[in-house]
Structure 1
């Protein structure tokens, strides 16, 4: 069954267009119109079986469209779309020949399918043979589309040299996307292992990507959308003429990226290439886009990541010049059993990774090599760590961004130390001594973990882990121990009230002070003071 959609709202058109895979249910979406006048013209040329139309549109609304369709003896079915409060319009539409109506705000996939199926079942028996023909034609077109996609995919991924009679294949698939100048958009998901947004079916996700992107590229005739895999697409956009600037290309990428994320609710990266010319440069455009997309590893979540792949970014020099030198430095630290230096070293490398043009794969490889050095110490002591090694390397490779990699690396250090029963350091490092000294002198004040960390120029979470590994204490627990010891000393003064004692140890809330004291000494401050005075 052929279907036309008419609605003046783009988001509604996109929603209806991608809500179902039309061919799977025996329907063929042959046209989309922005107003009733265009829909009427389409109905004359495309001969649709079903028209889905909004009631309120510019140029010609849905009621006028129904009247004109009746005049030309339209034999199909019309389903009208309405909003709340338009019941009079709906009633008039039903009188004028509409077969059903749908509310936009509550529209679901099953509602749309039910209305379509009801309309299709109400049509004359003569249409059954036609529906079967449409299905066969759709399958044939799908086959042709798959053949074209595979052809363009081979050209993009570097297998084009294996294609014989290239020009005849280009003409066979009726594509001219790279005949002259073109640029590419590389669209990829940030989390490649699963779908997390509104669409959980991989085929429907791919279908939606194609349809939404094609809708956004109406002003770029001849553009081709190539599926590399379900989560990765390359859009080849002809750019004939002198007015296509880099700024214009970034604008196109931004519009596509934001619209895709808005509808699909998935985190995406869109990389835009510089301009290339001719079929032979397709693979270079793809390579540059794919490489630049790795920059998203260093970006935070938020607005769609739009990345300019206009020039090479990553360098192989860091791996050759620095990688092994840093590993040698780490090995020396491990000879002194200074495990925490590995974490400091890795954080230092991560902090400069973007500036040093370190590819994420190099960074992950470096993290794995550091862990391997630690595991070697265990092997020397007779500990079997094969399974642990595989687990940790897999965990590091799962990192989706640099911050997650840092967290996974820290967890790997802690896990490995526990597994190998690494000995504790005998001497506390200077930063820990500085922290302890600071807390002793300021325990009577209202201080936070952030203030303590700033005193030694360390990250809050890193200081917490470092303190725990060095001393065996949670840093806040240690601070509270100092405060309770000070409180016990102050209780020797019979003139001090508990509220005053709490304030003098940096705790403004007396109820919190009571709970904390009771947790440490198994009795309330009042009971403790009474026992102390009696003694």
Structure 2
């Protein structure tokens, strides 16, 4: 028997209403447990088509829930700990978050209520004697206004690949476009802000979409029609203006009728990751098929890595930098190489430095680059060849600074003795002639060896070491004259002169700036 068209239409309307109700997520932000319980009991939330999220008991919990759950409506108490209600409203406005805020206030909070309305609150209700009819009326009004102009759907990527998200096709039938937005940002909070700004941009244009949640690197939006190139260019400009970061748009256009189609579309569109890895200047890319990525290293890679190994082992800073530049230049000439192959190359490069450090009884974990010493993990997290190259150059500088003396000492008994003398006499007046006498060489010979191997004379190196130690003492709060005496300077004036030569500021200024920064 053929299905009744009327019954099918009613069924479709029911499904659409059900999908709409699932979007009516309400977050109660209230620190008093009795008030939270009262709000829960005041209405039949599920029967009215609202989904109550887990309550937030303070401002920090509220922001975390907003970021993770994207509520549609907030019931907000203004006097909450950690971040108050006004700060929550400011956060929503700064991040262009589209949710209705109903303030629940006490009589004595009227001035705060006025400020809340200025910050964008939708309406307010008095906490005392709040009736179910009053709350229900404002919630339904809020819901009607929020959904009257556009339709939004959301789904987790896991639901697509596990075939549990079939309802996304029931209202639309066929999707035609998938957009993957890749911003170069370090923190998950950043991708959340980009996603919300994009949602708001689409909402203002009345554009219906399906949003796919997949990890914390890209935003995914699916549309039921093909969109003109100008649409993406306008979106890109809007995002670039709001977020001064490098970002890319990957677009797949094709028929998507079921989960397998959607899964394939996601895989194609997110190839924008590889394009961005190569730092392409063109930021908007259309993908119709899989990029034929090469599964082998660039030609001559073993030779280039051998050159890096030799330069690093000899602590030849310029040659090391050139070897790194040559490797990255060859990578860029043979695009696109599989990102897994590239990462193996970078791991091998880092291994060269690790072996050199081990030969000096050290480890690269003793070095910090950009505030981190987990170097292998850091390399895997960076998604740009140019940034990885910069990272290697910074790492090389830090590596030389940390291990150069150990390397020089391993090649010269005189230098090893000289550094030992300096380390043990750093808090006294150090004279080159006395150091040479204790080492057993002439002062002139020590000067010649030191200048040749270290690129600076003996006293310059001593003063630089004293200044580094002086900075630590000043940061700890010692007075300038105290540091001068401890380090064996002739007087405070000479100490200040030496300190300023290497830091371009007086020790007193450095001390005051350190105290301010600590506060």
* Structure (1 or 2) with the larger CA radius of gyration: 1
